[in-house]
Amino acid sequence: MSDNSPGTRNAPPHRTAKRMSPEERKSALIEKATEFFSEEGFEAGTRELARQLGITQPLIYRYFASKEDLINEVYHKVYIDQWQDEWVDMLRDRSVPMRARLKTFYHSYTATIFNRRWMRIFFFAALKGLDINQRYIERVRRSLLIPICEEIRAELGRDDSTPVTDTELENVWLMHGMIFYQGIRKHVYCSVQEIDMAFVIDTGVDMYVDSAHQSGAPGSG
Amino acid sequence: MSDNSPGTRNAPPHRTAKRMSPEERKSALIEKATEFFSEEGFEAGTRELARQLGITQPLIYRYFASKEDLINEVYHKVYIDQWQDEWVDMLRDRSVPMRARLKTFYHSYTATIFNRRWMRIFFFAALKGLDINQRYIERVRRSLLIPICEEIRAELGRDDSTPVTDTELENVWLMHGMIFYQGIRKHVYCSVQEIDMAFVIDTGVDMYVDSAHQSGAPGSG
DNA sequence: TTATCCCTTTATCGAGCGATAAATTCAAGG
DNA sequence: CCTTGAATTTATCGCTCGATAAAGGGATAA
């Protein structure tokens, strides 16, 4: 049996892709590229990506000037589009005790980033040393962790006129790392099936808040 | 000016590599490959690796049957050769209080793995889902974290006839993650210059030991 | 029905990859 | 000196990659 006819080797069963509007096709491409590159890494080939979309490889280049352009749109979708400005609002909401605020925030934050695609793209990008990754981490520091430091100070009634110190920030990074690492275990190591997020967040936040209260809180000793 | 003569484009200044004994050459190759692949990822080309060694690319294949073989030796050097059996001895040494044991252990452990090469190779391998990586994590669990659980039980005078529970293990993973994450920040994110390891380890270990003491220790309340 | 538009495919290019075979060159032993 | 053997280089193969140009073909409007 000869194998000259196209589409019989290991390709999808249809010979020609369904016609789509440019907007549909482009968003389908970005969606699939996110899944594909998060599994295979950004060195993976455009031909295999096209095959999984049921299209031919040159069609990708009608919608993206280069592979790098496509990847940049994937980054944008992961890093920028999924960021929620509500996170900082939660953290700043002084009608709620800091302990509860932190737990609410981390439940929302991990609901967004604790999934296979986000976690793996994050580490693929980190290992490449990409600027967009550095900027994301800086955004976490500036827009989430520093506010946490400031709010903890406020709740403890401490001086809020001086800038947050490195030590205060490092304490928050410890809590953050403890929580974040459990996502790595599940989605990068794949060494655990399910994580008890409530337990992880409760433990991490309680540890942080308790330690903040103990370390030189006025009138605590 | 023509560029036909070899070695004038962007190669090292010498035309021919210094002759080495097979043992010297092979170990030099593995050493440089570890550095090279930890920076560029395992998709990086053998020609660039050879260039950095001041040799030509086919010479690599006199010492390794394939690129994959070379990479496996890199893994072996990182994962197996640097493992220290003394780690479990430290953790089992009941002449020392558990808190101090854990701090000694983590200082030794992080001294080995908190460096750019180890951390990056670990994550490159993790993202590839390699079996050797899974086995390393399993080794950490079985040979380090489970012993920690058992030793904590012993120090608290609890029943040591039942196997370590998932909950006990998850508590250790929280401490472990808190410490490990700070290595990620430095060597994968490259978002921090220096880490106060004594502070990180003290905080992580104290948090874990304190929480173990509090959670239903007989005679503690 | 036919013409037009544009989404999609076919064909192909040049570069880089891992790997092999054959030629070369250096160093040691006679 | 010359010979010999092994370390190293040169040349090259087949394949895959990202990317481009040109041909094909399906939907829509006249």
Report, as an integer, the average pLDDT of B38-65: 98
Instruction: For residue A157, give every residue at least 6 positions away whose Cβ sits within 8 Å of its Cβ, in sequence order, or none.
Output: A218
B121 and B170 fall within a common domain: yes
Do residues B12 and B95 make contact, with C-beta atoms less than 8 angstroms apart? Answer: no
Q: Would you say residue A5 has pLDDT above 80?
A: no
Q: Does one domain contain both A104 and A183? A: yes
Chain A contacts of B204, Cβ < 8 Å?
174
CA of A20 to C1' of D30 (A): 24
| Residue B192 CB partners (closer than 8 Å, separation 6+) | B185, B186
Q: Are B130 and B78 in contact (CB under 8 A)?
A: no
Domain identity same for B52 and B119: no
How far apart (Å, rounded) are the C-alpha atoms in residues B164 and B173?
13
Q: What is the CATH number of the domain that holds A72?
A: 1.10.10.60
Least Cα distance to B171 among B220, B217, B215, B133 occurs for B215
Pair (A153, A99) in one structural domain: yes
| CA separation for the pair A22, B165 (Å, rounded) | 54
**Are residues A33 and A117 both part of a single domain?**
no
Say yes or no: B54 contacts chain A, CB-CB below 8 A: no
| Structure token pair of residue B149 | 């659980």
Give the pLDDT mean for B124-151.
97
- Are residue A68 and residue A114 in the same domain, yes or no? no
Tens digits of residue pLDDT in A89-148: 999 999 999 999 999 999 999 999 999 999 999 999 999 999 999 999 999 999 999 999
Query: Would the CB atoms of A129 and B203 count as touching at under 8 Å?
Result: no
Both tokens assigned to A187:
């989605």
Look at residue A13 in the predicted model and tell me its pLDDT: 40
In terms of domains, do B137 and B207 share one? yes
Q: Is residue A9 part of a domain?
A: no
Residue A212 CB-half CA count within 13 A: 28
pLDDT of residue A3: 36
Q: Taking residues B160-189, what's their average pLDDT? A: 97
CB-CB contact of B205 with B152 (8 Å): no
Percentage of residues in chain B having pLDDT higher than 90:
86
pLDDT at B122: 98
Residue that finishes a domain, picked among B64, B79, B94: B79
What are the tokens at B11?
């190669």
Q: Domain residues for B128? A: 84-213
Check residue B214 and give its pLDDT.
87
**Does residue A89 form part of some domain?**
yes
Is A139 within the bounds of a domain? yes
In a domain, B59, yes or no: yes
Q: Is the pLDDT of residue B10 over 60?
A: no
Helices A67-75 and A22-40 sit at what angle, rounded to 10 degrees? Answer: 80
Structure tokens at A186: 């599940």
pLDDT above 70 for B30: yes
* Closest C-alpha to B77, from B17, B35, B123, B47: B35
The answer, yes or no, to whether residue A216 has pLDDT greater than 80, is no
The alpha carbon of B109 is separated from its chain's Cα centroid by a whole number of angstroms, namely: 9
Same domain (yes/no): B52, B74: yes
Banded pLDDT at B216 (limits 50, 70, 90):
low
Q: Is there a single domain that holds both residue B97 and residue B189?
A: yes
List bases in chain D with any atom under 7 Å of a protein Cβ. Answer: 6-11, 16-22, 25-27
Within-domain flag for A203: yes
In which element (H, E) is residue B150 found? helix B146-155
pLDDT at B35: 98
Q: Are residues A73 and A155 in the same domain?
A: no
Report the chain A residue with the minimal C-alpha distance to residue B181: A177
Residue A4 in any domain: the answer is no
| Residue in chain B lying closest to A169 (CA) | B192
Q: Which residue has the higher pLDDT, A18 or B173?
A: B173
A1, pLDDT greater than 80: no
Same domain, B58 and B99: no
Q: Tell me what pLDDT residue A7 has.
A: 35
**What is the rounded average pLDDT of the residues A18-43?**
95
How many domains, chain A? 2
Which residue in the set A137, A174, A182 is minimally distant from B200, CB to CB? A174
Does pLDDT of A212 surpass 90? yes
Closest residue (CA to C1') to nucleotide C16 in the complex: B45
Tell me the shortest Cα–Cα distance from B177 to chain A, in angstroms. 5
Last residue of a domain, one of A79, A95, A112: A79
DSSP classification of residue A163: P
Within 13 Å, how many C-alpha atoms sit on residue B197's CB side?
17
- Chain B, nearest residue to A138 by Cα: B191
Shared domain check, A123 and A41: no
Q: Is B204 an 8 Å CB contact of chain A?
A: yes
Q: What is the mean pLDDT of residues A71-92?
A: 97
Give the per-residue pLDDT at A8. 35
Please state the pTM of the whole predicted model: 0.92
In Å, the largest CA–CA distance within chain A is 87
Of B127, B137, B211, the CB nearest to A124: B127
Question: Nearest-CA distance from A189 to chain B in Å?
Answer: 6
3-state SS, residue B167: helix
Is residue B2 in some structural domain?
no
- Band (pLDDT 50/70/90 cuts) for residue B18 is confident
Q: What share of chain A is helix, strand, coil (3-state, %, to 5)?
A: 70, 0, 30
Confirm whether B218 is domain-assigned: no
Q: Which helix (H) or strand (E) holds A87?
A: helix A86-92
Mean pLDDT of all residues in A149-175: 96
